[in-house]
Amino acid sequence: MTAGSSPPLDLAALIADPDTRIIVCCGAGGVGKTTMSAALALAAAQAGRQVVVMTIDPARRLAQSLGLERLDNTPRDVPAAAELTAASGGHLQAMMLDMKRTFDEIVEAHSEPARARQILENPFYQALSSSFAGTQEYMAMEKLGQLRETGNWDLIVVDTPPSRSALDFLDAPHRMSRFLDGTMIRLLSAPGRAGGRVYLKVVGAGLAIFGRIINKILGGQLLKDVSHFVGALDTMFGGFRQRAQATYDLLRQPGTAFLVVAAPEPDALREASYFVDRLSSDQMPLAGLVLNRVHPSTAPGLSAGRAEGAAENLSPGNSRNDVLAASLLLVHAQRSRTDAQEQRLARRFASAHPDVALRSVPAAAQDVHDLDALRQIGAHLTTPVPPLRKTKTRAKRASVRPTA
C-alpha cells in the first residue's frame, strides 16, 4: 500500500550537503518553526557547517536558550554552541531581523547622505518602516540577499514570519515591478515634485481625477509626505527591485531548500498544504514537511478500547495499585487515540501530497529552555532515515489499526 506513506525526509543528508546553501522554514504560527530553525542550524554547525540563523521575532526564551540576552540585526556568535561545534570545525551565529534597521540601511546605502536624511525623517517613511504589516516580508527577503552576498556563511537558515503572509516575500519582486511600472508611482510622486497645473501636465489630465480622489481621501498633508517619500525613493527603488528579483531567483536555485513545518492538527496541516502548493506553483525547491510535536504511543499493541476495558475491570474498590494501574491505562487510552488521530492526519496529508518527504518530531513534555534542548531536537531531526523495512512496518501497522 503506497497511498498514505510518504518518502522519509533525510535532514542529516540535507544539512551535510555542501551544496545546500539556504534553508527556509515556513509554516503556520505556533508550530515551533523558530525553534526548528534554531535546532537545525545548531545541528548543521555540529556537522561542520558555517551557519547563520536568521529568526524573525523569536520568543525571548529562544534567544536565552542560545545563551544570548537578546538578538539584533547583526549576526552574533552563539558562545554556548562553540563547545558543541568545536570538534567538527563548524560555527554558529544567530540574528534577529530588525525590519526598520534593515530598511534604514538600504536607504543609507543607496542614497546621497542629504537625500537619505530626508527620507529617514519623512513621517510616512517612519511609519512604513517600523509599524506596518508586510514590510517584514520585504525586509526578510532583502536581508537574506545581503547575508548571501557577504559569503561569510556556507549555510543560511531562515525563519519566516508567523502567518500566511510568510510567503508574501515570494510576491515581493512582482509587486515591486507592478508598482514601479504602474501609473501609481507617477501619480504619487508627481505632487511632491510639482503642484497645480504642472501636476496636471506631469500625470496627464486623464489621471488628474485620481490625484483628486487620492487627495480627497488622504488629505493634502499626507499626500505630500507620501509623494515626497516616493519621489525620494524613486532612484533607489530600481535597485531594490533588482535585488528582490535576484533573491527570488536565488530561492529557486537547487542550493535552496524549503522546509514546511506543521503541528499534527487539522488547521496547521491545512496551512502546510497551502504552503506546499504555493511553493510548487512557484517552482521553489521543497525539501519536505516536518511534523512537529507528535505523540507516538509507547505501547502501540494495546488499543484504547482494550485499555479502557481493563481499567474498568480494575476499578473500583480494589487496592491502591489497582487504582493507579487503572489510571495508567486511561492515560494510555487517551494517548493512543491522540496518536491514531495524528497518524490519520499525516496519512491524509501524504495522500494529497504523495511526493512530499515527511519526518515527525515527538513532543517534548517541557518547553525549550537551553541549548541542550535545542541540541536534542536537532538530534531528532537528523537521526538517520529508517531503513526501508521499518517504514513498511509502520505503514502496515497504520493500515491494520482500526480508526478511532
Partner 1 sequence: MPTSPAWPAARLHVVTGKGGTGKTTVAAALALALAHGGRRVLLVEVEERQGIAQLFDTPPLPYEERRVAVAQGGGEVRALAIDVEAALLEYLEMFYNLKRAGRALRRMGAVDFATAIAPGLRDVLLTGKIKEAVTRQVKGARAYDAVVVDAPPTGRIARFLAVTEHVAGLAKGGPIKTQSDGVMAVLRSSQTAIHIVTVLEDMPVQETADAIAELRRIGLPVGSILVNMARQPLLPLNAMARAATGRLDSTAIAASLSHAGLDGESLAGPLLLEAADHAQGWQAQLACRARLKELNRLTYELPELQGPIDTGSLYELADVLTRAGIR
Q: Among residues 311, 361, 371, 374, which is the contact residue for partner 1, using CB under 8 A?
A: 311
Which residue number, 198 or 213, has a Cβ lying nearer to partner 1? 213
What gap in Å lies between CA 335 and CA 38, rounded to an integer? 28
Q: Is 249 exposed, middle or buried (0-12, 13-18, 19+ CB in 10 A)?
A: exposed
Say whether 153 sits in a helix, a strand or coil.
Answer: coil
Q: Among residues 37, 102, 273, 297, which is the contact residue for partner 1, using CB under 8 A?
A: 297
Task: Annotate each residue in 355-394 with x if it binds partner 1 (CB under 8 A) or - if it does not, as one string.
Answer: ----------xxx---------------------------
Contacts to partner 1 from residues 203-262, by CB under 8 A: 209-210, 213-214, 216-222, 225
Which residue number, 341 or 391, has a Cβ lying nearer to partner 1? 341
Which residue number, 123 or 386, has a Cβ lying nearer to partner 1? 123
Tracing cell 526564551 back to the chain, one arrives at 61
What gap in Å lies between CA 52 and CA 329, rounded to an integer? 46
As a three-state string, the secondary structure of 42-60 is HHHHHCCCEEEEEECCCCH
DSSP-derived letter for residue 308 is: H
Q: Which stretch binds partner 1 (CB under 8 A): 17-25, 106-114, 250-258, 305-313?
A: 305-313
Q: Among residues 13, 19, 86, 132, which is the contact residue for partner 1, using CB under 8 A?
A: 132
The least CB distance from residue 35 to partner 1, in Å, is: 9
Q: Among residues 43, 263, 269, 358, which is the contact residue for partner 1, using CB under 8 A?
A: 263
The least CB distance from residue 153 to partner 1, in Å, is: 27
For 178, the grid coordinates are 507592478
Which residue number, 16 or 126, has a Cβ lying nearer to partner 1? 126
Q: Is the dihedral of CA 165, 130, 155, 53 positive or negative?
A: negative
Q: Among residues 17, 72, 124, 237, which is the contact residue for partner 1, using CB under 8 A?
A: 124
The least CB distance from residue 306 to partner 1, in Å, is: 8
CA 259 to centroid of chain Cα atoms: 8
The least CB distance from residue 181 to partner 1, in Å, is: 9
Contacts to partner 1 from residues 175-214, by CB under 8 A: 175, 178-179, 182-184, 209-210, 213-214
Contacts to partner 1 from residues 52-111, by CB under 8 A: 57, 59-61
The least CB distance from residue 337 to partner 1, in Å, is: 6
What gap in Å lies between CA 46 and CA 35, rounded to an integer? 16
Residue 203 near residue 186, CB atoms below 8 Å:
yes
Q: Among residues 11, 15, 31, 38, which is the contact residue for partner 1, using CB under 8 A?
A: 31
Nearest partner of 30 among 268, 378, 258, 260, judged by Cα: 268
291 binds partner 1 (CB under 8 A): no
Checking phi first, is residue 86 left (phi over 0); if not, alpha (psi -120 to 50) or beta?
alpha
First to last CA, the chain: 20
Checking phi first, is residue 153 left (phi over 0); if not, alpha (psi -120 to 50) or beta?
beta
Size of the site for partner 1 (CB under 8 A): 76
Q: Which amino acid is at 94?
A: A
Contacts to partner 1 from residues 313-352, by CB under 8 A: 313-314, 318-319, 321-332, 334-335, 337, 341
